[in-house]
Structure 1
Amino acid sequence: MKPRREDLIVQLEGLYRRYNHRVYLDTDPVQFVHRFRSPADRELVGLIAAHLAYGQVKSIHASIERVLERLGPHPAQRVREMSLRELQEAMAGFVHRWTRGEAMARFLFGAGEVCRAHGSLGAAFSRAWAENPGQSRQALVAWSCLFRGADPKEVGRSLMARPENNSACKRLHLYLRWMVRRDEIDPGPWEGLPLSCLLLPVDVHMHRIGRWLGFTHRRTADEKTVVEITRGFRRLCPEDPCRYDFALTRLGMSGISNRREMFERLKVQGLFPDPGNLSPDL
């Protein structure tokens, strides 16, 4: 038995209120964005943090820290001013899982090229959005191509996803959530982009939760899965489908392993009715 839409909204709002506090920032790479005040630094640091957000949490945070240490206190200005050779020297020896310093240097050089050509990363995305109104995927394709245009050898391809390949693009959607939404968790330095058109960053936790809630039955996290899960959350919160993403991901990271356990956990928090009639996820 699925929970009624109205009941589910109440429970998710309760979960949102619980986790929408900066005390939880240290569990997420978005914490690094909050260190900076200027929109230029925030959008660049967010780009770095989101695109290194794979692997174990401690490893992710340590790798982001190493990149930021090499860029100094004003990372956006540094990336705008540094040549590819200077970035290669700065990132020499950097390793995060399969990402090496050369890939990071070229990725940052691409970001610098976009900023030099368009004024900022946000301005470049706004232009891509204006050329593809209401088409999040096409806007992402156009925007990501700007980065790859600065890296003809595509050494940095391990960092920048290709939305045209129908992948889930979790890191790109995570970055957009940070840049567009604004609450205690998401800093939202970009203006003028509609929250309603964001797609969820579907990681392993959100994929499971999307299945448990009946939003998708797909076992592979690809573009279609992302669209289906986002559509499910859009029915609950049309103006902001990513509203519950951070809170639900915290719940997913807490170790729940099936649908019944998720609803039991919500009940313990006083957020969900008796789950006795709920069938476990198969």
Structure 2
Amino acid sequence: MTFEALAKRLNEEAHKRNHADEISVDRPDPLLIASRHNDEFIALICALFAYGNVSSIIQFLESLDFSLLDADESNIEQALESHYYRFQNAHDIQALFITLSRFKKEIGSLESVFLPAYQKRSHVMDGLRALIAMLYDINPYRSRGYQFLLGTIPQANPHSPYKRWHMYLRWMVRKDHLDLGLWHDVDTKDLLIPLDTHTFALGKKLGLIQRKSYDFKAVLELSQALQKIDPSDPVKYDFALYRLGQEKILL
């Protein structure tokens, strides 16, 4: 397939899948829960737990009482004492809600921490570095499960694809029939692809990724390839690529 033909097909797929019915109980995605609440803190919880079987993710997210983000910490601990999800036990989930509750009360918004760091060089990784560092600063709790959830603070040459964080940024920054568009001062051209196993495999099959390793360099490679199709909004193809890979549809 020529690059022009591939670009045409990806634009068609992105357009076709840009409607509310693409995400439903029958076609689940963590964005289904995030879109119900339209809140940057709740959306972050949905994004951070977006790993594993999608049905299990949705079932877990449905079990959470997001109003706890405005509750006292003792109430948070009591309400979540029996919750767990894969690598996270009840203490980890309690800690995440407490961290976000403190952040909400003491700082106000996640965007307010991300934005100044991002705007210095228009690099989303700078914004993520500031935001993840602040989340760790605001709560001294540490465990393997909790740190898996938040991820490491990005360094100059990260290895991790930061898939869940880039998905969160896609939700927050882009605005269409799928993404929420709650943040208004981040340019869509600066977003990076939320690389998962489906998009990685399909990206390689389509010749958009040459790299053999599923890592941050592969994220940059695919993002730069998609920028050649749409320099202003390369990540608009993310959901279409994800669905095509998930459904094993060959382009």
Regarding TM over 0.5, the answer is: yes
Give the Cα separation in 2 of the matches to 1:128 and 1:80: 27
Give the Cα separation in 2 of the matches to 1:246 and 1:144: 24
1:79 to 69, 85, 88: 69
**Alpha-carbon spacing, 1:58–1:228, altered in 2? closer, same or farther (3 Å):** same
Structure showing greater radius of gyration is 1
Q: Do the aligned partners of 1:180 and 1:188 also contact (CA within 8 Å) in 2?
A: yes
One-letter amino acid of the counterpart of residue 188, structure 1 = G
Q: Do the aligned partners of 1:107 and 1:147 also contact (CA within 8 Å) in 2?
A: no
Give the Cα separation in 1 of the matches to 2:2 and 2:90: 48
Aligned position for 1:21: 19
**Alpha-carbon spacing, 1:111–1:127, altered in 2? closer, same or farther (3 Å):** farther
Aligned position for 1:92: 81
Tell me the CA shift for residue 141 of structure 1: 1.1
Give the root-mean-square deviation of aligned CA atoms.
1.6
Tell me the CA shift for residue 187 of structure 1: 1.1
Is 2:138 the partner of 1:150? yes
CA deviation string 1:80-103 (max 9, x = no partner): 4432x3322221111111111211
- The SS at the match of 2:228 is helix
Is 2:46 the partner of 1:49? yes
Is 2:136 the partner of 1:124? no
Give the Cα separation in 2 of the matches to 1:206 and 1:215: 10
Aligned position for 2:7: 9
Give the Cα separation in 1 of the matches to 2:174 and 2:180: 7
User: Which structure 2 residues correspond to residues 1-282 of structure 1 after superposition, within 5 A?
Assistant: 2-4=1-3, 6-26=4-24, 27-37=28-38, 42-67=39-64, 70-71=65-66, 75=67, 78-83=68-73, 85-130=74-119, 132-155=120-143, 156-162=146-152, 163-164=154-155, 165-256=158-249, 262-263=250-251
TM-score, with structure 1 as normaliser: 0.81
Tell me the CA shift for residue 166 of structure 1: 2.5
Give the Cα separation in 1 of the matches to 2:141 and 2:43: 24
Tell me the CA shift for residue 210 of structure 1: 1.5
Q: Do the aligned partners of 2:115 and 2:186 also contact (CA within 8 Å) in 1?
A: yes
Instruction: Count the aligned residue pairs.
Output: 243
- The SS at the match of 1:99 is coil
Structure 1 residue runs without a partner (length 5+): 257-261, 264-282
One-letter amino acid of the counterpart of residue 109, structure 1 = I
Tell me the CA shift for residue 125 of structure 1: 1.6
Q: Do the aligned partners of 1:110 and 1:146 also contact (CA within 8 Å) in 2?
A: no
Q: Do the aligned partners of 1:80 and 1:113 also contact (CA within 8 Å) in 2?
A: no
Q: Do the aligned partners of 1:9 and 1:236 also contact (CA within 8 Å) in 2?
A: yes
Give the Cα separation in 2 of the matches to 1:249 and 1:203: 8
Give the Cα separation in 2 of the matches to 1:225 and 1:159: 21
CA deviation string 1:211-260 (max 9, x = no partner): 1222222222211111111111111111011011111211111134xxxx
Question: Percent of aligned positions with the same letter in both sequences?
Answer: 29
Q: Do the aligned partners of 1:198 and 1:242 also contact (CA within 8 Å) in 2?
A: yes
Give the Cα separation in 2 of the matches to 1:137 and 1:28: 24
- The SS at the match of 1:166 is coil
Give the Cα separation in 1 of the matches to 2:44 and 2:151: 12
Give the Cα separation in 2 of the matches to 1:93 and 1:174: 28
Give the Cα separation in 2 of the matches to 1:82 and 1:129: 32
Q: Do the aligned partners of 1:233 and 1:241 also contact (CA within 8 Å) in 2?
A: yes
Q: Do the aligned partners of 1:114 and 1:124 also contact (CA within 8 Å) in 2?
A: no
Q: Which moved more, 1:241-250 or 1:119-128?
A: 119-128
Q: Do the aligned partners of 2:118 and 2:125 also contact (CA within 8 Å) in 1?
A: no
